[in-house]
Amino acid sequence: MGVDLLIVAGEHSGDNHAASWVQALKKRHPQLSICAIGGPALRQAGAHLLFDLTHWSAVGLIEVIRRYPSFMRLLHWTVEWVRAYQPKIICLVDFPGFNLKLAKRLCQEKLTYPHGGTTRIFGYISPQIWAWNTRRRFKIERYFNHLGTIFPFEPTCFADTSLDVRFVGHPLLNQPNPFRYDPNGPLLLLPGSRLGAVKQITPILKAAVHELRKHYPQLHAIIPYPNQAIQRYLSVQELTGIDLCPLATFNTGVCSAIMSSGTASLQVALAGIPGVITYRANPITFFIGKRLAKVRYLSMANILLHKPLYPEVLQDTPNQALTVAHQMESFLSQTEQSRTSFLEGADALKQLLSSHSVQTLVDWLESLLLTSTEAMALDAELKNSNPKA
């Protein structure tokens, strides 16, 4: 049996995003054969999970180097799988370090269209070429057939290419937000969804909470962990005044947040919750990244709004944890007053991230799958026909 769609999603956020439209596609076309190299959300949505890649997610140059041999083995295996099963469409969700290499290799092996094969490459969530290495847009043009972006300014970054690029809206607007504001709630701590990043940032969060509790002894904090690996790590740390709970069942209103700069920080911003962004990585990764970056801010909310709505305290800040605590004190002492600007920011973000396109991402994928099916059927019919001269 042929495979209609292969999805490759290496991050927990990408796994969740892809799962939502796999469910929609399966509802419209139950017969679709969908396979995935992703995570548990895609499996639960109805995709046949070939490999759980979310366990391998890495961030930063040094972290990727450590995983490089494993990634290369998986890349080779994936290419051979595509050669054997020839899916109509491969959807590469974010995860550019792996997915761009995979798209290139598939092209070199003449497995993709128009390079000798029939499989089309659909990218979902553009690499952040606007942040660094803008010339990557020409590689993406060469190896991809279509690209759906989640930020409204991204299609213009590809204006000098022939790639079919469309803004399809941000997936967070179509999903329930796990975070909500409560002036009497605990302090929300979000160290990230990758274990490596969590290990870097948790000591900063722990020290900041310790400092805040000197002035607010009744303060409690909470970390909603996204997976069992992170839960196991956090459970053996001495997190005084900090509770743990699974993100999947998190339903607690929070007064403010200290967070890393990932997807969850944008969810916090969309909920209008005050907070501070903090970040720590391998020193070499941070040194290189800071010099390559072409944007002023790390937080996507700040980037989209062109202003530092959320203070950013990075690892080159002296006394990082103490600075985070001092930034948080203004939110804790004037919770309602400080929230006004964050509510205005949330409204502005929702306007920016809403797609006004008639065609949704699911509609687009559906049309590509149907078109591909019709084209393959016509090709088979022509090959089987034997017209008389």
Q: For residue 348, give Cα distances in angstroms to 73, 179, 301, 302, 341.
A: 44, 18, 10, 11, 11
The answer to whether 26 and 32 are in contact (CB under 8 A) is: yes
Question: What is the structure's pLDDT at 388?
Answer: 43
| Segment holding 324, helix H or strand E | helix 320-333
> Going by C-beta distance under 8 Å and a sequence separation of 6 or more, which residues neighbour residue 221?
186, 187, 188, 189, 205, 209, 241, 242, 243
The answer to whether 189 and 275 are in contact (CB under 8 A) is: no
| pLDDT tens-place values along the chain, 389 residues long | 589 999 999 988 899 899 999 999 999 999 999 999 999 999 999 999 999 988 776 555 445 567 778 889 999 999 999 999 999 999 999 999 899 999 999 999 999 999 999 999 999 999 988 877 889 999 999 999 999 999 999 999 999 999 999 999 898 998 899 999 999 999 999 999 888 889 999 999 999 999 999 999 999 999 999 889 899 999 999 999 999 999 989 999 999 999 998 889 999 999 999 999 999 877 776 666 666 666 789 899 999 999 999 999 998 888 999 999 999 998 888 766 678 899 999 999 999 998 665 568 999 999 999 887 655 554 455 445 554 43
Q: What's the pTM?
A: 0.82
CA distance 19 to 318: 41
Question: What is the structure's pLDDT at 389?
Answer: 35
Question: What is the structure's pLDDT at 94?
Answer: 93
| Segment holding 24, helix H or strand E | helix 12-28
Which residue bears the tokens 């799962």? 19
What are 258's strand-pairing partners?
Answer: 189, 276
Cα 113–115–116 angle (5° rounding)? 85
> What does residue 298 show for φ and ψ, rounded to 5 degrees?
-95, -40
Domains of the chain: 5-169+355-385 (3.40.50.2000), 180-352 (3.40.50.2000)
